Structure 1
Amino acid sequence: MNSKITAKKLVSKGGVVIAVIIAFIVFAIGAPSVFLTPSNIVTILKSISITTVIAMGATIGFATGVFDLSFATLATLGAALSVTFIGWYNMSMPVAMIAATLICMLVGVINAIVVVKFHVTAFLATLAMQFVLDGVILTYSGGALINPKVAGANGQEVVREVPEAFWNMGKSPYIIIIMFVCIIAVELFLSYTKYGRLLYMVGSNPGAARLSGIKTGAYITLAFVLTGLFSALSGMLIAARAGTVQSTAGSSFLMPAIAAANIGFSFGGRGKANAIGTFVGAALIGVVENGLYAMAFPYYSINIIKGLILLLALIMSAATAKAQD
């Protein structure tokens, strides 16, 4: 009986980590010459860096009970603005990055106003914002690929070269370092500050939090604003890594980020969104995707595995929440 309880607790608290280890062992055995190399480990970390950073915003949103669908498109906006502010409008790199970040955070404020003041559900409000941002990005870029080294489709001329320091953000080890800094910052904020604990309270029971005197609207706004912050940062990493910005550059990170954040719910048996769990979730997705490519798995079938991983993660999260009740 005790062994069963112990096994259940082990799966509940460490199931995600165990899954990563098992996946790592399977691919290490299946493709040792390709998968199990130092350079490939760095490749995996690099490949999950943007997903992890953008998922930090989703993690804060989930912790507050907010489901934001616009964060990936917002990352595209951050990518487009940061490079064009430098290349087309002659801003210095720090000013351009700060301006792009503030605009993305302002979008978060608008999302919060729609949700808090007009009582529109976050899912629908941010779905609408996603469409708005898609249109804004296409209009801003003239429907063309944004390349800060050439003139824009709307007639903007290149007046300044994007510094090498910007492009370096998308290379290793810088992109990996940025990822770990974001993980540590969000973990400390959510777990060890008053504001983080109050965000969790609002997310777990907004009615009780309101009766306790907590200004739930302010904390929902904070969640949206911080999501905008991490969307902007991840957008800059997307631009720095690719060198150009497509109008759908951030869209490919939407589902992996949501999956990573949801997988992280069950990390350590917490049953709630957390930064370390999100990283482990992103690592699981990255290891599986990289391993499948290493074993020459058909690329068009990889999304099936990703979907099954997300489904399993949701089941594990539900099981963890039930165990805590």
Structure 2
Amino acid sequence: MTATELPAPATTTAAPVPGRMRDLVIKYGFIVVTLALFAYFSASEPAFRNSATLLDILRYVSVAALLGLGVTVTLAVGGMDMSVGAVAGLAVSVAAKMMVVYNQVGAIAILVVLAAGVVAGLGNALLIVALKVPDMLATLGTMFVIQGLKLIVVDGQSISPGMTLPDGHTAPGKFTAGFLKIDRGSVAGIPVSVLIFLVLTVAAWVFLARTRWGRVLYAIGANPKAARLAGIRVGVYRALAYVLSGVLASIGGLILAARIGQGDVSAGTSQLLEAVAVALVGTSVLGRGKPNAWGTALGAVLIGIISSGLTIAGLPYYTQDVVEGAVLIIALVFSFTLSRGRRS
């Protein structure tokens, strides 16, 4: 072979600048937006820089974050739990019924609420795994059933201490001081509800990212047929995901019950959209493009920053839904449109 016939030496070319920029935007754009909004509100509203305000933001989003973690677990298996808001509302009604009407201590109310969350998760699992009903349709159905049960439990009326019961007697109990500390108490200046939110976020992250069970859940969500061929009991793991979602939603309901201090029949109604929003927003964090616990937590914090910042700035409350919806759309663009372009 002559010199002229020798192949040209291999050369490597750097990735185009636009491609690098796209990768950086996908990976860090969401975090940059969160920090930029925080900096903007801190600069324009001095009250926003107060540490008490920051803790209030975390306390405010704790319920949506916990429900969002439940949605995150079901997203990991390729599903979607639309009943989390109803389960949280049922938790409020059950807690109020146990303490105010049946005069039980807070510990008993907590156990009954958690049991209700497990039953709700098992009901979803029965429909989805055993009866093969599509996830979203099944959980929409259970959402309406649970909302009805919530009203039946409280006879269609909100429960508050000292109320007159349908039989004419006065309710003998009240929300115990220990139960109310779930949201109103603090440890070392940090609200208990914030600590619950942080601890369960870490636990969800460890479970999903650092254990075999979590990796199996992601494998099922990516390709259930391949997971089944690999010997994974797909039905069992999908059922586990919905039970965990029910438990997390019931814990969020406990915080909500301690926050409002009564069995409000409308409790949990608005929580579903926030939970789904923070879970979907969280998929865009660090460009992962998949549900993850830290992403959900950061999504909840971002929505809390927006809501609190707009409120402190004096904007009408009815404008917040528009802003939150826009943030969700942008996050979904980061998660799906841009990341798909990077993979293509």
Mean CA deviation greater in 155-164 or 70-79: 155-164
Question: 1:25 aligned to 26, 39, 43, which one?
Answer: 39
Match of 2:269 among 251, 256, 259: 251
The number of residue pairs the alignment matches comes to: 324
Displacement after TM superposition at 1:218 (Å): 0.6
Partner of 2:66: 53
Q: Does 1:271 align with 2:284?
A: no
Distance across 1 between alignment mates of 2:195 and 2:279:
20
* SS of alignment partner, residue 170 of structure 1: helix
The match for 2:198 is: 180
Contact 1:59–1:278 under 8 Å retained in 2: yes
Map of 1:70 onto structure 2: 83
Residues 324 and 2 from structure 1, CA distance in 2 versus in 1: closer, same or farther, beyond 3 angstroms?
closer
Q: 1:162 to 1:294 in 2, by over 3 A?
A: closer
Superposed CA deviations along residues 15-38 of structure 1, whole A, max 9, x for unmatched, are 22111011112212222x222222
Matching of residues 309-320 of structure 1 within 5 Å: 309-319=327-337
Indicate how the Cα distance of structure 1 residues 168 and 119 shifts in structure 2: closer, same or farther if over 3 A, else same: same
Structure number, greater radius of gyration: 2
Q: What is the distance in 1 between the residues matched to 2:168 and 2:200?
A: 37
Find the counterpart in structure 1 of residue 23 from structure 2: 9
The secondary structure found in structure 1 opposite 2:183 is coil
Aligned mate of 2:94, from 81, 86, 99: 81
- The within-5 A match list for 1:300-311 is 300-311=318-329
**Aligned ranges 1:151-162 → 2 under 5 Å:** 151-153=164-166, 158-162=171-175
Residue of structure 2 in register with 1:131 after alignment: 144
Aligned mates of 1:131, 1:296 — CA distance in 2? 36
**Counterpart Cα distance in 1 of 2:101 and 2:21:** 59
Q: Which residue of structure 2 lines up, in the alignment, with residue 140 of structure 1?
A: 153
Task: Rate the CA distance shift 1:137–1:276 in 2: closer, same or farther, 3 A.
Answer: same
Measure, in 1, the Cα distance between the counterparts of 2:203 and 2:109: 23
Instruction: Determine the C-alpha separation between the residues in 2 that align with 1:229 and 1:149.
Output: 30
Matches of 2:16 and 2:264, distance apart in 1: 55
Question: Share of identical aligned residues, percent?
Answer: 32
Distance 1:324 1:93, change over 3 A: farther
Q: 1:229 to 1:29 in 2, by over 3 A?
A: same
Structure 1: distance between partners of 2:102 and 2:69: 30
Provide the TM-score with structure 2 as the length reference. 0.89
Following superposition, the deviation at residue 88 of structure 1 comes to 2.1
The gaps in structure 2 that reach 5 residues or longer are 1-14
For residues 90-127 of structure 1, the C-alpha deviation after alignment (integer angstroms, 9 at most, x for no partner) is 43322321122112211111111111111111111111
SS for the counterpart of 2:289 is: coil
Code of the aligned partner of 1:9: D
Give the TM-score of the pair, scaled to structure 1: 0.94
